[in-house]
Amino acid sequence: MRKLFGTDGVRGTANHHPMTADMALKIGAAVGRFFRREAGGVHRVVIGKDTRLSGYMFESALTAGLTSTGMNVLLLGPVPTPAVGLMTRSMRADLGVMISASHNPAEDNGIKFFGPDGFKLSDEAETEIEALIDAGVEAARPGNIGRAKRIDDARFRYGERLKASLPREFRLDGLKVVIDCANGAAHRAAPEILWELGADVIPVGVSPNGTNINQGCGSTQPRVAAETVVSHGAHVGICLDGDADRVILIDQTGAIADGDQIMALLATRWAAEDRLSGGALVATVMSNLGLERHLQAHGLRLERTGVGDRYVVERMRAGGFNLGGEQSGHIVMSDFATTGDGLMAGLHFLAEMIRSGEAASTLTQQFTPVPQLLKNVRFVAGQTPLERAGVKSAIAAAEDQLEGQGRLLIRKSGTEPLIRVMAECEDPALLERTVDSVVDAVADAVSA
């Protein structure tokens, strides 16, 4: 059992276990030792971060831990998470590190790891790293301590890679685009790339101050961006999260489209062009039943995984698929990237707008979703509400009520102290009733 790692690295409130400077130093030393098993040669790691104030602290602590084991550190500064995956491979690094808590509030932070192939680490690798943390790591001899160096052009390299995923003649002339960067890692790269492609860019969430990442903006709070689209008469809005590996789209009327609609569009378009590998889309158990039905109507399959873009990517690699993602907006196009890339997905949506001549409101309504309801219950560390008899009984009763009419999914979040209760059902009243019955039982267990 992993104690530190969740579904996407290590995450928590800054200056509280496990997200302390001391723990970051230990993690850096352990992961450095894990990737520097052979003596001799040059060993390097790239480190990126988002715009959180605590990023400075964790960047320094990780650098200390990594260099203490002989790893040379290349500091990228604020860049999107997918840029770290890209730079890990292109700079022939042994390891990539992203310091970010993604869509979480500014007081949180996290540490994500990429292997030399640019893909996130497996559960097995993370378990071995935890064992090294517990055992302690022998430091390198004084003459073998690593060096640290800043890389100033990371976001430009990333931008060129994004543009290279599009047709050479692709331009956005005449298209008015609102881009919401969540005051996060893409606050410079995203507007620059859209401008370079010819778009009339209206930026939102591009003034980070260390404490306002994801605050009233971004993919989890797109209201301001939606209002901006309408007030400026924009053709479309693109909302990223704090580390820019998620995207939510807004059509010209201000309506919001999630990752399921984006994946539906890309999957059917790629299939029509005979470039959807394996005739399938990979998504998680959270994706709407309407998406599955839409794909089936087009002769395509939906391969479901556990929640987390890392598990989506693992299934894509195992099955030879090249498109996957999550309802929350992680879109993975493995022909071009090793992880979810919100801006890349947004650009490919814009490419389809240009190609088809259709409005965003048409392209973001690929299928009619089955009514879906998700509610969260916060718990305190150490509590195990899903093991309580009353909760188990409530879940069983809800499943009985939904049998043949819908589905129920209960899970503990891998990134926040939340129990997530989700159900789908064509009957809205039954949907509300079953979800609330489980939420009430979990809330009672938490407060007991």
Task: Spell 372-404 as b/e; 16+ CB within 10 A means b.
Answer: bbebebebeeebebeebeebeebbeebbebbee
**Exactly one of 54, 102, 219, 328 is catalytic; which is it?**
102
Whether 331 is covered by a domain: the verdict is yes
Counted domains in the chain: 4
Statement to judge: residues 169 and 186 lie in one domain: yes
For the segment 74-116, what is each residue's pLDDT rounded down to a tens digit? 999 999 999 999 999 999 999 999 999 999 999 999 999 999 9
Q: Is 113 found in the same domain as 58?
A: yes
Please, is 147 exposed, middle or buried when counting C-beta atoms within 10 Å of its C-beta (0-12, 13-18, 19+)?
Answer: exposed
Count of beta carbons in the 10 Å neighbourhood of residue 167 = 9
What are the structure tokens assigned to 180, written together? Answer: 């919401």
236-240/247-250 β-pairing: antiparallel
> Do residues 86 and 222 share a domain?
no
Residues 21, 81 within the same domain: yes
Contacts of 50 (CB under 8 A, 6+ apart): 78, 99, 100, 101, 184, 185, 213, 242, 243
* Same-domain status, 147 and 198: no
Instruction: Clarify whether residues 141 and 177 are in a common domain.
Output: no
- Look up residue 308 and give its two tokens: 């987390």
Average pLDDT over residues 286-303: 96
Q: Does 33 share its domain with 166?
A: no
Give me the pLDDT at residue 219, please. 97
As a whole number, mean pLDDT of residues 32-38 equals: 81
Residue 185 lies in a domain: yes
pLDDT at 40: 59
Q: Are residues 54 and 161 in the same domain?
A: no
Beta sheet of 95-99, edge-to-edge order: 5-6, 9-13, 108-114, 95-99, 44-49, 72-78, 148-150
In a domain, 398, yes or no: yes
Domain end: 105, 132, 152, which one?
Answer: 152
Domain around 110: 5-152
CATH number of residue 400's parent domain: 3.30.310.50
Asked, for residue 326, whether it belongs to a domain, the answer is yes
Domain boundary among 200, 228, 252: 252
CB 276 within 8 A of CB 282: no
What count of Cα atoms within 13 Å lies in the side-chain half-sphere of residue 297?
11
- pLDDT (0 to 100) of residue 119: 94
Instruction: Summarize pLDDT for 254-264 with one digit per residue, the tens.
Output: 999 999 999 99
pLDDT at 8: 84
Residues 319 and 237 reside in one and the same domain: no
Q: Give, in degrees to the nearest 5, the angle at Cα 417 between 328 and 304.
A: 35
Identify whether residues 119 and 14 lie together within a single domain. Answer: yes
Residues 266 and 390 in one domain: no
Task: Establish whether 277 is a catalytic residue.
Answer: no
Are 51 and 78 a contacting pair, CB within 8 Å? yes
- Provide the whole-model pTM: 0.90
Quick one: 51 and 137 in the same domain?
Answer: yes
- How confident is residue 42, by pLDDT bands cut at 50, 70 and 90? confident
Residue 234 in any domain: the answer is yes
Domain assignment present for 163: yes
Give the CATH number, domain containing residue 313: 3.40.120.10
Instruction: Specify if 350 maps to a domain.
Output: no
φ and ψ at residue 225, rounded to 5 degrees: -65, -40
Q: Is residue 351 part of a domain?
A: no
